[in-house]
Amino acid sequence: MRELIRIHEADDPRIAEFRSIRERDLTGRDSRFIAEGTVVLRMLIGAHCAGGDFAAEKLLLLENRVEGLAALLQELPGEVPVYVASQPVLDAIAGFHLHRGVLALGHRRRNPAPAQLIESLPAKALVVAAFGISNHDNVGAIFRNAAAFGADAVLLDETCCDPLYRKALRVSVGAVLAVPYFRAGSTAEILTTLAGAGFSIWGLSPAGAVEIREVPAADRMVLITGTEGEGLSPEVLARVNTARIAQAPGLDSLNAATATGIALYGMAMAQGRL
Amino acid sequence: MRELIRIHEADDPRIAEFRSIRERDLTGRDSRFIAEGTVVLRMLIGAHCAGGDFAAEKLLLLENRVEGLAALLQELPGEVPVYVASQPVLDAIAGFHLHRGVLALGHRRRNPAPAQLIESLPAKALVVAAFGISNHDNVGAIFRNAAAFGADAVLLDETCCDPLYRKALRVSVGAVLAVPYFRAGSTAEILTTLAGAGFSIWGLSPAGAVEIREVPAADRMVLITGTEGEGLSPEVLARVNTARIAQAPGLDSLNAATATGIALYGMAMAQGRL
């Protein structure tokens, strides 16, 4: 049976990183992050044990959640401490009512340079590049879709929000911890590196030249997606092939996550990877 | 210039319906609803003026939002009062900081019976039926996707949550007020009515028989979508054609809104309606 360390006081220094996690989310962090909920915890432990890009540092669980998590905790190496608390103590630590009762602190083991990550991609590759996505739900949904359609990587330009934020991680159902990614560089730099690596580059736009399900297959394909309101900039669209998703006349009304899902599905089908 | 009625006190009875709207959302309502934000307000005023299913009763605006809404307010018939308040008064009314500053009270003018709505559909029709959707974001997203792909109606069984809830309305970008719908009846009743009206009925399932983009065209098609976790019940799947969305091996990982979007896109393309 896994050793559990009981926390009685919200100000116990051993769980300091879990204090007031809502405010913490607003202030940005180093390469550490809070994983919330069983689904994300499972992905974190999976990455930890597989020697992936992410490692677990410590867990903080509601006492009555421990039994249901027993099998998962068995997989966790012994050097990662597991703290448990009652609901009142847990709520006092987190700063709000944490009904899920499952928190973990993780960190990024390594942060591959953009050129290095792109170079490491297989000869047949499907990649998503997202430019200027500032909404945590949307960035999380992009990772979830990337995982669903077997994409090899997600490339975020430096203006995207951090996918390791608690809410983005949750919306991604932990896919942020499973799909290789970077968040660095300008859109111009990323496009140049992709072109140099032989990628067929497709940007989504309501005025795109090719309907998304008619995009021709290529060994290496990348989908570029922009912000929900403004979309991709004219500078980006001028440098790439453009694809559209047919919609009813009137407003361009798909949300960013759904548009990315439809486009990735089309490109993955074109490549015959599903 | 539109007449504006200034509210100085949060307990003014003329704006009582806007008080503590967060709690109100939890308790359910009659056929009245709160529309929040400019996008939803625009759809409400559009429905009101076109004699659609929904009417506006009153508006409550942050004083500094009035100028930006002047053109929209011009369209609003004079009998709908427009109240304005300062930020502190508005926040005291709503019960939280309402930075958007745009609220409206609306009501449903008529509530078509399910059989009547289905009968009124055109000979060439595309419809979404959603069973057991209890998440306001997902029900809102289903309406948004339905509008984006020109669906003629959304049919919700009686166990779905109310799409007129403030958050569902907002996620739908107001499409709930534009796409005809009902929320009534059991799944069995809805399926029987649809079959009687000549609909080709397709249910989404990870184990579906036909890949969604190969579903054959029919004049009248309906997409059935279920809850994110459990999906459609075996009883429903046994009565309908089943379609799948190909995904990478492992978890069935698309969210409900994205899955509905991909499926609706496929069916709308099959019908040649986009």
pLDDT in tens, A39-59: 999 999 999 999 989 999 999
Kindly state the helix (H) or strand (E) to which residue B244 belongs, with its residue range: strand B241-244
For residue B145, the chain A residues in CB contact (below 8 A) are 254, 258
* Reported confidence tier of residue A251, pLDDT bands at 50, 70, 90: low
End-to-end CA distance of chain A: 40
Cα A263 from Cα A223, distance rounded (Å): 8
CATH 3.30.1330.30 fits A5-108, yes or no: yes
* Least-confidence region, from A159-173, B79-93, B101-115, B242-256: B242-256
CB pairs under 8 A between A and B: 81
- Farthest CA pair distance, chain A: 62
CB distance A253–B141 less than 8 Å?
no
CB distance B257–A254 less than 8 Å?
no
- Picking from A144, A173, A246, the nearest residue to B274 by CB comes out as A246
- For B1-148, list the strands marked E by DSSP: 5-6, 32-36, 54-62, 82-85, 102-108, 125-130
The ipTM value here is 0.90
A114 touching chain B per CB within 8 A = no
The count of other CB atoms within 10 Å of the CB of residue A155 is 24
Domain boundaries A114-270, corresponding CATH code: 3.40.1280.10
Residue boundaries of the structural domains of chain A: 5-108, 114-270
Shortest alpha-carbon distance between residue A125 and chain B (Å): 14
Q: pLDDT, tens digit, for every residue of B217-264? A: 999 999 999 987 788 999 999 999 999 999 998 766 788 899 999 999
- Predicted local confidence at residue A185, as pLDDT: 95
Shortest alpha-carbon distance between residue B145 and chain A (Å): 6
For residue B179, the chain A residues in CB contact (below 8 A) are none
B173 touching chain A per CB within 8 A = yes
Question: Which among B176, B254, B260 is the top mutation candidate for probing chain A, defined by the most A β-carbons within 10 Å of its own β-carbon?
Answer: B254
CB within 8 Å of B121: residues ≥ 6 apart: B127, B152, B153, B197, B220
∠ CA A23-A89-A166, nearest 5°, is: 35
Per-residue pLDDT for B30 more than 70? no
Shortest alpha-carbon distance between residue B150 and chain A (Å): 5
